Chain A
Amino acid sequence: MASTVTFRLAKPRATAPADAADLEPAWIRRVLVSVTLGFLVLFLFLPLAAVFVEALRKGVSVYLATFLQSDTLAAIRLTLLTAAIAVPLNVVFGVAAAWAIAKFEFPGKSVLTTLIDLPFAVSPVVSGLIYVLLFGAQGWFGPWLSEHHVKIIFAVPGIVLATIFVTFPFVARELIPLMQAQGSDEEQAAIMLGASGWQTFRRVTLPNVKWGLLYGVILCNARAMGEFGAVSVVSGHVRGMTNTVPLQVEILYNEYNFVGAFATASLLALLALATLGIKSFIEWRTQRDTAAA
C-alpha cells in the first residue's frame, strides 16, 4: 500500500544484517565500500568542505564579522519568519491530507496524491512565476491589490507563499506512507471504546507518527530556509527588507565579498548538517521505540 518511499525513514532494524555478510566475498564488499565512499566524497563531502574552507579563508574573526552586518541579520530574521509561517501551515495540511488519504478509501485518491506531489516536480522558477502572474501588478489580482494597498509580491507575503508552495508536499509525503503502513485498527478500537475523534488522534495516532512527523517538519524547514529560485523571482531584492539568507548569499557573492557569501552559506550548510543530525537522532529513537515494543 505504501504509495511513496522517497523520504521514508530507515526501517527499524535492531541488528546488523549479519546473515548477509557471508553472501559477498570480502573483496567485493571492499570494492563496494570504496566506490560508495569515493562517489560520496566527490559529490557530497567536497562541496560541503569547499563552503567552509572558503568561509574561513580570512580567519575566524572575518567569518564571524559577517553575521554582525545589519543586512545579514535582517536576512536571517526574514528567513526565520518565513519558515515560522510556512512550516506550521504545511504541517496542518500534511496531517489532514495524511489522515484523509491513509485512513479512508475514496475515488480519485491517486490523482489527489499525484497533485500533492506536483510542487515537488515544478521548476522553482515556475513556482515563483505563478505568483507573479497572480499577484503582480500586471497579474489577475494586481490592480485590485494595488487599489487596496495590499502588497504581496516583492514583500513578505509573496516570499512566504512561494516558500509554502515549494515545501508543500514534504510533511504529507512523509506521513502518508507511515500512516498507511500502520493501518487504522488502533484508531477504530479507540473510537469503539468511546474516545472522541480528537482524543483518538492525539492519544493514538500522534504518538505513532510523531517521529515521522518530526522528520517531515525538519526536511520541510530545511527546504523552506534554503529555497532560492522561487523566492528570487518574487523577492525584489531590496537590501535589508526582502532578502532571505540564500538571496543574501548571492548578493554578497555579487559584491565580490566571497568570504561573506560563503560564511552566510555556511550558516545554511550548518542548518543542513543540524537537520541531518536531528534526522539520525529520530531514526535512532524510532529504532529504540520499536525494539522496546
Chain B
Amino acid sequence: MAIDSIIPPAVPGAASAPRRVLPGFGLSLGYTVFYLVLIVLVPLSATLAKTATLSWPRFWSAVTSARVLASYRLSFGASLCGALINAVFGLVVAWTLVRCRFPGRRLVDSLVDLPFALPTAVAGIALTSLYASNGWIGQWLEPLGIRAAYTPLGVTIALTFIGLPFVVRTVQPILEDLDTQFEQAARSLGASRWQTFRRVVFPEIWPALLTGFALAFARGLGEYGSVVFISGNMPMRTEITPLLIITKLEQYDYAGATAIAVVMLAASFSLLLLINLLQRWTSSRHVLV
C-alpha cells in the first residue's frame, strides 16, 4: 500500500501491456510445467497407455457391461442427488452465514470445512454407525420404513457429506460481495422479497452456485473411502464405479480396471473444463456489473 502512494500509476498502459517487467517468468513457469508433467501428466498417461493394450471391442465391452453401466448409474445418480441437495442446502447455509447473525456463527462457519479435513475412511465409518438401523439416526428412520445404510440413499448421504463445503465456499464470497443496495432499491420499488431474490439476487449467484454444484458432483464421482462402508456393495444396486475398479484389479484385470478409470478420468476432466468455463463466465459477468 505504501509503495502504491509513492509511485503513481506511472507506466502508461502497464495493466494491459505484457507484464514482463517482473522477473522469474521462465523459472516459475518452467518449474510449474516440469512438476506438473512429472507428478500428474506422466502418471496419468500410464492409464491411457495401459488401456491402449486393449482392442477397441474389448475396451467397449469392459466399460459398458451391465454391471459397469449399473455402477455408472449409481455413481452419477448419487453424485447428482448429493450435489443437488448441496446446491439447495449449501445456498441456504451460505445465505445464513452471510446474512444472519446468530450465536455460534463463527464456529458453524469453520465447521463447514470439516469434510475437507476429515479422512474419508473415518467419515465412512462414522456415517455408517449413525445411519445403520441401530445407529443414532438410523433407529428413527427404521420405523418410518426408511433404510439409509446399505442403500443408494446411504451412498447419497455420504456424497452429500463429501460435497457440502464446495457449494457453501463458492457461493459465500459472491454473496458477501453482493451489495444490498440493489435489494433495498428493488423493495422500495415495490418488489416482493421473493421477486427480489429471483430477479436481483439469483442471477448474481447462480453461476457460482453452478460451479459449486459441478465441483461437488466431480468429487462425488470418484469418492471411494467414505462410500464403501455405507453402500453395502450389492452388484447392480449399490456398487459404485471406483469399487468396480478395485474389484477388477483384484481379479488381475489391469487393463479392464484402467479402462474404467479412463472413462472416469474423461468424465472428471470434462467437468473441470466446464467448471473453468463457468468461472470465466462468472468473473466476466462480475466485471460487467
Contacts and interface: CB of A to CB of B under 8 A. Distances in A.
Indicate yes or no for A touching B, C-beta below 8 A.
yes
A225 to B, nearest CB: 8
A187 interface: yes
Interface in A11-53: 11, 13, 16-17, 19-21, 23-25, 28-29, 32-33, 35-37, 39-40, 42-48, 50-51
B92 interface: yes
B53 to A, nearest CB: 11
B35 interface: yes
Contacts of B115: 44
Interface in A111-134: 112-126, 129-131, 133-134
Contacts of A293: 1
B146 interface: no
Which of the four size classes fits the interface of chain B?
Answer: 35 or more
Interface string B12-37: 00110011111111011101110110
A116 B36 CA distance: 7
A50 B135 CA distance: 10
A10 to B, nearest CB: 7
A46 B92 contact: no
A226 interface: yes
B224 A100 contact: no
B223 interface: yes
A29 B164 CA distance: 21
A115 B41 contact: yes
A42 B137 contact: yes
A121 B269 contact: yes
A184 B24 CA distance: 13
Given A3-B276, A114-B276, A228 B225 contact: yes
A186 B3 CA distance: 6
B265 interface: yes
Contacts, number: 343
A261 B3 CA distance: 55
A144 interface: no
Interface stretch (A63-71, A235-243, A271-279): A271-279
Interface string A133-145: 1100011100000
A158 to B, nearest CB: 11
Which of the four size classes fits the interface of chain A?
Answer: 35 or more
Interface in B34-81: 35-36, 39-44, 46-47, 49-50
A48 B122 CA distance: 9
Contacts of A253: 125
A192 interface: yes
Interface string A253-291: 100000001100100110110011101100000000000
B239 to A, nearest CB: 13
Interface in B253-272: 254, 257-258, 261, 264-265, 268-269, 271-272
Contact of A19 (B108, B160, B180, B272): B180
B269 A118 contact: yes
A155 to B, nearest CB: 17
Prevailing SS type, chain B contact patch: helix
A8 interface: yes
B161 A43 contact: yes
A184 B218 contact: no
A156 B115 CA distance: 26
A16 B99 CA distance: 9
Contacts of B118: 47-48, 226, 268-269, 272
B127 interface: yes
A13 B176 contact: yes
B196 to A, nearest CB: 8
B92 A35 contact: yes
Contacts of A16: 101
Interface string B144-159: 0000000000000100
Contacts of B193: 23-25, 28
A104 B7 CA distance: 21
Contacts of B3: 186, 189-190, 193, 204
21 contacts: A2-B283, A4-B279, A46-B130, A48-B126, A93-B32, A99-B28, A112-B32, A115-B36, A123-B264, A133-B50, A185-B14, A186-B3, A188-B11, A191-B21, A197-B23, A222-B117, A228-B225, A249-B125, A262-B125, A265-B119, A276-B111
Interface of A: 1-8, 10-11, 13, 16-17, 19-21, 23-25, 28-29, 32-33, 35-37, 39-40, 42-48, 50-51, 54, 92-93, 96-97, 99-101, 103-106, 110, 112-126, 129-131, 133-134, 138-140, 161, 164-165, 168, 183-193, 196-197, 200-201, 204, 219, 222-223, 225-229, 232, 245-246, 249-250, 253, 261-262, 265, 268-269, 271-272, 275-277, 279-280, 293
Interface of B: 1, 3-4, 6-7, 9, 11, 14-15, 18-25, 27-29, 31-33, 35-36, 39-44, 46-47, 49-50, 89, 92-93, 95-102, 106, 108-123, 125-127, 129-130, 136-137, 157, 160-161, 164, 166, 169-170, 172-174, 176-177, 180, 183-184, 187, 193, 208, 211, 215, 218-219, 221-225, 241-242, 245-246, 249, 254, 257-258, 261, 264-265, 268-269, 271-273, 275-276, 279-280, 283
Across the A-B interface, the 10 shortest Cβ-Cβ residue pairs: A123-B222, A226-B119, A272-B117, A197-B23, A121-B268, A130-B43, A100-B29, A222-B117, A47-B126, A133-B46
